[in-house]
Amino acid sequence: MATRVDGGMGAPMARGAVVEWARDIYDDLDFTVVRQWLEEHPKSKAGGYLPVYAPREVLHATGFLPVGIHGGGDRLEIIRGDAFYQSYICHLPRSVIELAQSGRLDMLSAVLFPSTCDVIRNLSGIWKLLYPDVYVRYVDVPQIPDPGAAAEFWAGELRRLLDDLGDVTGHRPTDEELRRSIALYNETRKMIRTLYAARRERPWDVPTEELYLLLRAGESVAPEEFIARARQYLAAVAADPKRQRDNSRVVIVGAFCEQPPLGLIKSIERAGCYIVDDDFLLGNRFLTHDVPTDGDPVRALADAFIRNDMKSSVLYEIDPGGKRSLMANRVAAANADGIIFATPSFCDPALLDQPMLRNGAEKAGIPCIAFKYAENTGQFQQFREQAGTFADSIKLWGAA
Amino acid sequence: MSVALKDRSMVLQKEMIANHFERLARAPETGEPVVYTFVPGNLTELIRSFGALPVLPEINALQSGMRKLSGEYIAEAERAGHSEDVCTYVKCDIGMMRSGNIGPGGKKLPKPDLLLLSYTGCYTFMKWFELLREEYDCPTVMFHVPYQGDGKLEPEHREYMLRQLREQVIPALEKATGRKYDEEKLRHHLALSAIAEEDLVAVLQAGKKRPSPIDGYFGTVYYVGPIFSAFRGTQEGVDYYRALREEVEERAMLGLGPITPEGPLEGEKYRLVVEGPPNWTHFRDFWKMFADEKAVVVASTYTKVGGTYDFGFRHDPNDPLGTLADYCSGCYTNLNLPSRIDMICQYIKEYEADGFLINSVKSCNSFSAGQLMILREVEKRTGIPGAFIESDLVDPRYFSAANIKNRLESYFQMIDARRAGKTP
Ligand code: SF4
Ligand code: SF4
């Protein structure tokens, strides 16, 4: 167990202490940090969002603590959730319902359901029926990067969200306040990009298990706290370099919604793979560039989404060659050796995309493997073996 | 459809469909442009106004299911790397294409000149046409229909659709067909749609009669075929629905029940409302399980995926693009769960149903995710216990006749017991 050097957010903290702080938050399905934050901020409320992309700036500016709802993983026994979902539907919604029905999400005054897939879409309707006192909105993002109609539509959605969420908290933010929230989330995304770059450059120093825990904690705490802890983590990493191993560098693709259990991430790493890029918790870095903090802030957010160059299974790909080239581009950007398609069972977006992505990757000569998981998968041996064989074969091909 | 009685409408439908597939097969020679699109949110009048022929991949897939070809097509797609977990319509379509693209008419289907991705009520649509685009390398236009998350069409969502129609969809159709947008033509087709829709609604609402002269699910999937696919806005469509209406009204006047694969159903015993798509691979067996018990489906939600006309919507030639936006937005799978529940409860009341049944298909998250909630809510509001069965659309591996039959038999026994006052 790591010892805490300093609980404060400015002072140095040992790597292990930051990771333990994050792990505690990750493990805690009662969202104690959120509840504590609410006690400390009695005028504010907590607003949840499902994967993948929700405009956190809008929640934040209207006085919400944005809270990512990513299911219960392998830490939650499903008692009520299975009564809501057939066996051929992914695991995420049943664990989200389980969390809610067991009262663990009762601190949320609003929940946003992004247009990720029809499961999350329909879950918004279930929420309306089960929790009529909670503000529920299906967040329908535009599907084409059209600066005219699509940007206008998305700006309209954002304005409506601002109005509605403002009604819930009683706080209608000024433009200046929204700009401040935008700036804060620009900083958050920048920090995440820095963390990803650090892992890409020195994956032996930034194990994905640690990075992932930090990001998960970031889904439940105020952005300032996340940024401070991430800084402490990076400083601790720099002060404590590790030894590089002869591992293969892989990109994980398909895990953007229902999250893999931590054990699966660890298994991949322990099998001799450095994860150098992934799409875990993708929403937290969905906007790849800073949102301008001048001019009309709503328009700035809307235009940033339209101009964004994030490619994802949850958005329509307008470029006919886009799916074919995406994997090669990602592998090149991450200087990776291969791809692991790790997708939740029954996940439409990931699994429907996979043949296109894999085809493109294989045509580009990129080694690939694929497996499916559920967030509550408990046996990792087969993944470990598969990833180990994959890592070895990459090394063999690389040496040939 | 091979049923005991062949009414005029059935002959008409058969001819229309055969001619359509014949025209499609000859399209590469005749130069008629071909536009692929989806049933929910199909813009058939607009496509027709450009002189193009629509192809509906879902219809091809369900036909493949009925002709017992889907199993092999799905296997073909899975061999090519498509997951066993995803919608089998997509895999059936891709497998069919890879096996020579022989359509339901037994003739080769032409390649699309345009994939019109009307993104209405189903996420899979987006991937389906991305996948087809990989195979056909043809232009694709996305038409994003906002989901009615709050149970209504917001004015700004309508405006968004209008702009997309003007700025994206129409220019794409102009380019693909080489023809200019002609609003008068569009109005002409829309006027024809409205006539047919009026007659269709009369047919659907005949289910309120006792006995019902129609089966509002199994029989009605045939009835909605033309209007959900290529024939909305055409004279053939108008003629078909006029003939159908006359036949149904005649049956109603004579107090006759619906026609089933085993012949006319007499002695209606149970009146049901059904939610969810049917299974196509064992469609007749499935229907027979109901007919044998003298159970008639008086209304269903699946028959509203291509439009909720019975709630008053008609295409309006006076507002040609606005009416297309309204139409798309109102298709069943674009409605939120509370609206779907309201609709089912209303059907149960107005059609005086004794029971309701959900057929949950493995393929379809758009329908299936949330159906257990629908079940609870409808039971709670109507006081009528529902039945829940599971199958698939076109994957024969997921139709367990014995299980479904057992489930249905015990459900009907339960209705009997309730009638006899034996259970609360
Ligand atoms: S895991 Fe996939 S199918 Fe399930 S809710 Fe997430 S995106 Fe949808
Ligand atoms: S998922 Fe459902 S609505 Fe979508 S294409 Fe498949 S069957 Fe149709």
Reported as a single tens digit per residue, the pLDDT across A195-228 is 999 999 999 999 999 999 999 999 999 999 999 9
Which token pair is A247? Answer: 């591992």
Q: What is residue B233's DSSP assignment?
A: T
Question: What's the complex ipTM?
Answer: 0.96
Strand pairing category for A338-344 and A248-253: parallel
Query: How many whole angstroms separate alpha carbon B73 and alpha carbon A112?
Result: 39
Give all domains of chain A, ordered by start, each with its CATH number: 31-173 (3.40.50.11890), 247-310+320-400 (3.40.50.11900)
| C-alpha distance from A66 to closest chain B C-alpha (Å) | 21
Mutation for A interface: B153, B365, B375, B378, most A CBs within 10 A: B365
Question: What is the structure's pLDDT at B3?
Answer: 41
Per residue in B174-209, pLDDT (tens digit) is 999 999 999 999 999 999 999 999 999 999 999 999
Task: State whether A355 and B337 contact (CB < 8 Å).
Answer: no
Task: Read off the pLDDT of each residue in A150-174 and give the average, rounded to a whole number.
Answer: 98
- Mutation pick for ligand 1 pocket among A341, A348, A353, A372 (CB with most ligand atoms within 8 Å): A348
Instruction: Collect the ranges in chain B with pLDDT lower than 50.
Output: 1-5, 424
Interchain CB distance below 8 Å, A118 and B365: yes
What secondary structure letter does DSSP report for A132? T
Q: What residue owns the CA closest to ligand 2's atom 8?
A: B364
Q: How many angstroms is it from B89 CA to the middle of ligand 2?
A: 7
Identify the three-state secondary structure at position A174.
coil
Q: Provide mean pLDDT across the span A367-385.
A: 96
| CA–CA gap between residue A46 and residue A65 (Å, rounded) | 5
Give long-range contacts, CB 8 A cutoff, 24+ apart: B13-21.
Answer: B13/B222, B13/B225, B13/B226, B13/B240, B16/B226, B16/B231, B16/B236, B16/B237, B16/B240, B17/B104, B17/B105, B17/B225, B17/B226, B18/B105, B20/B53, B20/B105, B20/B230, B20/B231, B21/B103, B21/B104, B21/B105, B21/B106, B21/B107
**Ligand 2 mutation pick, B60, B127, B305, B364, max ligand atoms within 8 A of CB:** B364
User: What confidence tier does A5 reach under pLDDT thresholds 50, 70, 90?
Assistant: very low
Say what the pTM is: 0.97
**All domains of chain B in start order, with CATH:** 2-179 (3.40.50.11890), 185-419 (3.40.50.11900)
Chain B residues lying within 8 Å of A313, measured CB to CB: 127
Q: pLDDT tens-digit profile of A228-280?
A: 999 999 999 999 899 999 999 999 999 999 999 999 999 999 999 999 999 99
Closest CA to B304 of B280, B335, B325, B282: B335
Question: How far is CA B340 from each of CA A7, A13, A210, B277, rounded to the nearest angstrom?
Answer: 51, 53, 44, 14
Which chain B residues touch A89 with a CB distance below 8 Å? 365, 368-369
Specify the residue with its C-alpha closest to ligand 2, atom 1: B364
Whether residue B147 and residue A140 make contact (CB cut-off 8 A), yes or no, is: yes
Identify which of B172, B236, B173, B220 has the alpha carbon closest to the alpha carbon of residue A146.
Answer: B172
Note the ligand closest to the C-alpha atom of A350. Answer: 1
Nearest ligand 1 atom to alpha carbon A348: 3
Min Cα–Cα distance to chain B from A88, Å: 6
Task: Report chain A residues whose CB lies below 8 A from the CB of B156.
Answer: 153, 156
Stretch A383-399: mean pLDDT? 89
Q: Does the beta-carbon distance from A138 to B149 stay under 8 Å?
A: yes
- Tell me the shortest Cα–Cα distance from B13 to chain A, in angstroms: 33
Instruction: State the nearest Cα–Cα gap between A63 and chain B, in angstroms.
Output: 23
Ligand closest to Cα of A91 equals 1
- Ligand 1: which residues within 6 Å by Cβ? A 90, 92-93, 116-117, 119-120, 257-258, 344, 347-350
Neighboring chain B residues of A121 at a CB cutoff of 8 Å: 123, 147, 149
- Of all residues in chain A, the percent with pLDDT exceeding 90 is 95
Ligand at minimal distance from the CA of B58 is: 2
Query: Any idea which ligand is nearest the CA of A283?
Result: 1
Cross-chain residue pair B134–A323, CB shorter than 8 Å: yes
> A95-143 pLDDT, tens per residue?
999 999 999 999 999 999 999 999 999 999 999 999 999 999 999 999 9
Identify which of B140, B149, B160 has the shortest CB distance to residue A149.
B160
Sort out which chain B residues have CB atoms less than 8 A from A342's CB and list them.
none
Which residues on chain A are in Cβ contact (under 8 Å) with B87?
348, 352
How far is A232 from chain B, CA to nearest CA, in Å? 41
Tell me, using a 6 A CB cutoff, whether residue B283 lines ligand 2.
no
Chain-centroid distance, C-alpha A319: 25
Residue ID of nearest Cα to ligand 1 atom 3: A347
pLDDT at residue A7, rounded to an integer: 55
Separation of CA B105 and ligand 2 centre (Å):
23
User: How far is the alpha carbon of A140 from chain B, nearest alpha carbon, in Å?
Assistant: 7
Task: Give the distance, in angstroms, between the CA of residue A35 and the centroid of all CA atoms in the same chain.
Answer: 21
pLDDT category at A30 given cuts 50, 70, 90 is very high
* Most B-contacting residue of A50, A87, A94, A126 (CB-CB within 10 A), to test interface: A126
Asked if B149 lies within 8 A of A121 by C-beta distance, the reply is: yes
For residue B128, the chain A residue with the least C-alpha distance is A352
Q: Kindly report whether the peptide bond that precedes residue B211 is cis, defined as omega within 30 degrees of 0.
A: yes
Q: Taking all residues of chain A, what is their mean pLDDT, rounded to a whole number?
A: 96
